Each structure stands twice: as C-alpha cells, then as structure tokens.
Amino acid sequence: MDDALLELLQKVDTPTVCNAIEVAQGKRGFNNYTHGTMLRSAPEDPAVVGFARTAKIAGLEPPTIPADEVRKRRMDYFRSMSEGPHPSLAVVEDVDFPNCVSAWWGEVHTTVHKGLGMSGAVTNGVMRDLGDVEPGFPVLAGSIGPSHAFVHVREIGAPVEVFGMLVNEGDLVHADRHGALVIPPEVIPDLQAAIQKLLDTEQLILGPAREEGFNFEKLEAAWAAFEKSRT
C-alpha cells in the first residue's frame, strides 16, 4: 500500500470503501464488514485505517490461570501490539459477547496504544472514560460501560470476529462511525482507481440533484448516465 492510497483511505468514509471494493471486484456481494450498530468514541473524527493486530479478551468471570501468568500475558499483548507494519489498528474480540461487561478501552489503554504507535481500535467489547479517551485514537466498540470487571487477555494474534467481520492479524482494516471492514488484499492495487471512479460516477447524480430546476425528467437522464458508467 503506497502513501497515496493511504492518504485517500484516510479521507473517505467506510461506506465509500465498501462500495469501491465492489467496483474493484466488478460485482456486488462483498460482506466482510461489521453487521450491526457500533459506537464510536469520537464520531466526528475521520476514518482510521491500519493493519490489524489481533487479540481476544474476557472479563465476565475471573481468569483461571495464575496471577503472574495474567500479568505476563498482558505484557505479551502490549509487545505484540507494538510490532508489525504501520499504520496499525488493534482489533480485539471480547469472547463474552454479547454479554460483555469489561471495558478494555478507556483513558489508560487508549493512551498506551497510541503511544505504541497505533492508530485506533475496533472491538465488540466495552469502552469507557469517554471524556478522556486519548485524542487521535478513535475506538469503535460494541457498548459503553463503567467497569473493567475481570478483564484479561485470552489469546494474542489469533483470528478474531467482531460483529460478523472476520479479521486475521495483518489484514488491512478501515473503520469510521459507520462500522469497519477488511479490505481484500487482491483489490489493493486497484482500490485507488476504484474509489476515484466511484466518486466521479456519484457526481452524475449528485450534481444535477443539487441544481435548481431538478425534476424527474432530469433525474431519469442523470440516472441513465449513472447506470451506464457503472457497467
């Protein structure tokens, strides 16, 4: 992924990327995105894009391993989050879902993860400290809650699932207030052109629709041009 594509992905929203993937694939049906409504710590922040660093956590019940192993695994987790290609994005599955109670993401962890060079986080779990989440580190979460409960790391670097989105470590993920998606690696070479084509073709409808005197006849002509450009 070159700098120009990265810059473009940071400027466009996730629905645009979702549509552009289908443009690049030449068909509808792409479905590796989050299914359901998620919450964003800073809804007005721009989209975040990064290579996934994955983990699984839990917190509904106390860990069954010794306390020193819990601490060691947490440090192993932070070490893993600090590694890999950048930009990077933490994608963390709470295995208690849909009964998540433990907020992994708050002031401390967002600050630490950003300090380790990460761009943001996507989780099906809980976030808290909404007024104190580290600026510039957006979190897309499944819910909001007040407690960390018995939160502990279960797995590091394993494939994870967040609201139906399947993520392997190293996958390229795009996320904003609409949700998140995994960009298929095979479309990356064509994605910049696909996004630009999508934006250009949308203007065939949006331009006329915003002009004075727009009516059904103008819509019919504009839509015909729009459909032709998509085939």
Render pLDDT for 129-146 as a digit per residue (tens, 0 to 9). 999 999 999 999 999 999
- Do 119 and 218 have their domain in common? no
Chain mean pLDDT for the chain: 96
Task: Tell me the average pLDDT across 72-96.
Answer: 98
**Rounded Cα gap, residues 22 and 1, in angstroms:** 18
26 part of a folded domain: no
Domain limits at 222?
189-230
Compute the average pLDDT of residues 9-31: 95
Q: Is residue 57 part of a domain?
A: yes
Task: Count structural domains, the chain.
Answer: 2
Q: What angle do CA 94, 69, 66 make, to 5 degrees?
A: 95
The beta-strand segments (E) located in 69-220 are 88-94, 103-105, 118-123, 126-127, 139-141, 143-144, 152-156, 160-162, 165-167, 172-176, 179-183
Q: 99: domain CATH number?
A: 3.50.30.40
| Mean pLDDT confidence for 218-227 | 92
Categorize the per-residue pLDDT at 1 as very low, low, confident or very high, splitting at 50, 70 and 90: confident
pLDDT for res 8: 96
- Is the pLDDT at 231 greater than 70? The verdict is no
128 labeled binding residue: yes
User: Model pTM?
Assistant: 0.94
Average pLDDT value for residue range 147-176: 98
Of all residues in the chain, the percent with pLDDT exceeding 70 is 100
- Residue 176 marked as a ligand binder: no
pLDDT of residue 207 exceeding 90 = yes
